[in-house]
Structure 1
Amino acid sequence: MALSIALSLISMGIVIYLTYKPGILEHLAPKRLPGIFVAIGVTFLKVYFFAAKIRFLADKTINWMASIRIALTWDFASAITPSTIGGAPVATYAMTKEGIKLGKSSAIVLYGVLLDQFWYALAVPILLVSSIYFNVIPDETGMVGNITMFVIYAGLLIYGGLLAYGLLINPKAMKRMIEVVFRLPLLRKFADKVNAEADNMVDYSRELRQKPISFVVKAFLLSTLSWLCRVALPVIVVLSLLPAQEVLLVLRSLAMNLAFLIIPTPGGSGGVEGLFAVFLGPLIDRTAFIGLAVFVWRLITYYFSIGLGIVAMLWYVNTSVTEKLEDINQESDKTAEHGKT
Structure 2
Amino acid sequence: MTLPSHKETPSSSSEATTRPHISWRYIAGSMALSVAAMSIVIAMTYTPGTLEHLKPKRFPGLFLALGVSALRIYLGAARLKLFSDRQLTWPGAFRLILSWDFASAVTPSTIGGAPVATYAMTREGVSLGKSTIVMMFGVLLDHIWYSLAVPLLFITGLYFEVIPEQAGVVGGVTMMLIYIALIGYGGLLTYGLLVNPSSLKSIVKQIVRLPLLRRVKEKALVEAENLEAHSNQIRSKPPVYFAKAFGLTLGMWLCRIALPVIVILSLLPAQEVLLVLRSLAMHLSFVAVPTPGGSGGVEGLFVLFLGPLIDRAAFIGLAVFLWRMISYYISIGMGMFAFSWYARKV
Give me the TM-score of the superposition, normalised by structure 2. Answer: 0.90
Distance 1:85 1:129 in 2: 34
Name the structure 2 match of 1:38: 64
Identical pairs, percent = 59
Contact 1:72 1:312 in 2 (8 A): yes
Asked if the contact 1:79–1:268 (Cα under 8 Å) also holds between the matched residues in 2, the reply is yes
Q: 1:24-52: CA deviations, max 9, x gaps?
A: 01111000011111111111100000111
Counterpart for residue 143 of structure 1: 169
Moved more, 294-303 or 161-170: 161-170
Pair 117,142 (structure 1): closer, same or farther in 2 beyond 3 Å: same
Deviation at 1:171, TM superposition (A): 2.0
Match for residue 218 of structure 1? Answer: 244
Pick from 76, 85, 103 the counterpart of residue 129 of structure 2: 103
Partner in structure 2 of residue 299 of structure 1: 325
Answer yes or no: is 1:53 the counterpart of 2:86.
Answer: no
**2:58 aligned counterpart, secondary structure:** coil
Shift of 1:200: 1.4
CA contact (8 A) 1:81 1:267 kept: yes
Q: Where do 1:119-268 residues align within 5 Å? A: 119-268=145-294
Please list every run of at least 4 consecutive aligned residues from structure 1 whose deviation after the TM superposition is greater than 4 angstroms.
none
Find the counterpart in structure 2 of residue 331 from structure 1.
none
Q: Is the 8 A contact 1:84 1:261 kept in 2?
A: no
Match of 1:21 among 28, 43, 47: 47
- TM-superposed deviation, 1:190: 2.6
> What secondary structure, in the 3-state scheme, does the structure 2 residue paired with 1:55 have?
helix
Name the residue aligned to 1:335.
none
Distance 1:134-1:80 versus aligned 2 partners, 3 A rule: same
Q: Please name the residue that 1:339 is paired with.
A: none
Q: CA deviation at 1:148?
A: 1.0
Pairwise mapping of residues 49-128 of structure 1 onto structure 2 (< 5 A)?
49-83=75-109, 85-128=111-154
In the alignment, residue 99 of structure 2 is paired with which amino acid? T
What CA deviation, in whole Å up to 9, does each residue of 1:68-103 have, x standing for no partner?
111111111111123465312221111111111111
The alignment covers a number of residue pairs equal to 320
Gaps of 5+ in 1: 323-341
Name 1:282's counterpart in structure 2: 308
Superposition deviation, residue 186 in structure 1: 4.1
CA RMSD across the alignment: 1.2
What one-letter code is carried by the residue in structure 1 that aligns with 2:328? Y
Opposite residue 93 of structure 1, the aligned amino acid is Y
Secondary structure of the residue that 1:62 maps to in structure 2? Answer: coil
**1:126-157 CA distances to partner (integer Å, 9 max, x unpaired)?**
11111011011111111112111111110000
d(CA) in 2 for partners of 1:75, 1:209: 28
Alignment partner, residue 338 of structure 1: none
Give the whole-Å Cα distance in 1 for the aligned partners of 2:344 and 2:161.
Answer: 50
Unpaired runs of 5+ residues, structure 2, are: 1-26
